Amino acid sequence: MSQWLLEFKDVYYTYPGTNRPAIASLTLRLPIGKRIALIGQNGCGKTTLFLLANGLYKPQQGRICWKSDRINYNRQSLIQLRQQVGLVFQHPEQQLIASTVEEDISYGLCNLELDEKTIAQRIEQVLEEFGLTSLATKPIHQLSLGQKKRVSLADVMVLQPELLLLDEPTAYLDPLHTRQLAQLLQTIHANGTTILMATHDLDWVYRWADWVLVLDRGQLFLEGTPQDVFSKQEVMEKLQLGVPLAFELLSLIEEMEPQLSQSRTQDLVDAIAQLKNKIQQKLVGDIKHIARAIALSNR
């Protein structure tokens, strides 16, 4: 059995009407059972990679393999692939299509040829796991952004995929909903799902990922553990990505305390993340206060 879940082999993809490939000579492999972060500047090809991985796009050159077998692009094969490779878009409105939460989650089960009892059990289980039971009959348009993101994730996980693709899942979320998402992803991964997440949040990557892929102009530029990747600080600066605040602070601490234990290191990473969230919340609160003061002064 291959240790690689998904493989790209010298893959090219160019959008119609453009000259520069969005994906160019891309070769990469996703290890089974890992939490993998995909990072890079806007326009580097992250979303295109996801659409290729899910079979929504077909490469113009090269090949993509699922569990060592080349992807077949006939209708039935693609239906099966999309049950195994779940894709959650950055903007939930792109995939929420039904009137209520329960209806939306049930939609993807229609192609599985399951009996009504099994479908009902799966929906009930996912509603409970994602904290959506009380929202089951609520109209989609009445949900908050955080709730919509949970529903779009539940839509995919009800199909029980082996690989979960997440495009900027923490974008526009407040700290509370970000923590809730982290807990959900921890459970999903613990249940055996491999996760590939595209994100700009390097502090999240440093805390969360087992493996990091750095994409630049449609090519794999760098890969490794978070420690290995962010240790190449000059390279990351040249790519205009930088390194996480937690990594920089820990590097300074380790210079003063070289024998820092792994558990102590993780405690410090978590503490730095919490401090960063508190600072962000304070800044948001201050900005709102200033905005209200300006509005009142202009009346």
What are the structure tokens assigned to 222, written together? 């760098």
Give the CA radius of gyration of the chain: 21
* 195 & 86 share domain: yes
Q: What is the pLDDT of residue 198?
A: 97
Q: What is the pLDDT of residue 288?
A: 55
* 183 & 291 share domain: no
What are the structure tokens assigned to 150, written together? 């949970």
Q: What is the pLDDT of residue 177?
A: 84
Q: What is the pLDDT of residue 212?
A: 98
The CA-based diameter of the chain, rounded to the nearest angstrom, is 70
Domain count within the chain: 2
Give percent helix, percent strand, percent coil of the chain, each to the nearest 5. Answer: 50, 20, 30
The closest alpha carbon to 50, from 72, 69, 22, 77, belongs to 22
Reported as type and span, the H/E element at residue 141 is none
* 272 & 235 share domain: no
Q: What is the pLDDT of residue 265?
A: 60
The closest alpha carbon to 154, from 66, 92, 77, belongs to 92
Which of 225, 242, 259 lies at the terminal end of a domain, its last residue?
A: 242
CA distance 269 to 203: 9
Q: What is the pLDDT of residue 3?
A: 83
* pLDDT by 10s per residue, the chain, length 299: 568 999 999 999 999 999 999 999 999 999 999 999 999 999 999 999 999 999 999 999 999 999 999 999 999 999 999 999 999 999 999 899 999 999 999 988 877 878 888 999 999 999 999 999 999 999 999 999 989 999 999 999 999 999 999 999 988 888 888 888 999 999 999 999 999 999 999 989 999 999 999 999 999 999 999 999 999 999 999 999 999 888 887 777 766 565 655 556 666 666 666 666 666 665 655 565 565 666 566 66
CA distance 176 to 209: 20
* 231 & 262 share domain: no
Q: What is the pLDDT of residue 171?
A: 86
* 51 & 165 share domain: yes
Which of 193, 208, 242 lies at the terminal end of a domain, its last residue?
A: 242
Q: What is the pLDDT of residue 251?
A: 76
* 207 & 251 share domain: no
* 149 & 287 share domain: no
Which of 242, 274, 291 lies at the terminal end of a domain, its last residue?
A: 242
Read off the pTM.
0.85
Q: What is the pLDDT of residue 289?
A: 57
Q: What is the CATH number of the domain that holds 18?
A: 3.40.50.300
CA distance 222 to 225: 10
* 173 & 255 share domain: no
- Domain carrying residue 284: 244-299
Place of tokens 């290729």: 52
* 17 & 159 share domain: yes
* 168 & 273 share domain: no
Reported as type and span, the H/E element at residue 59 is none
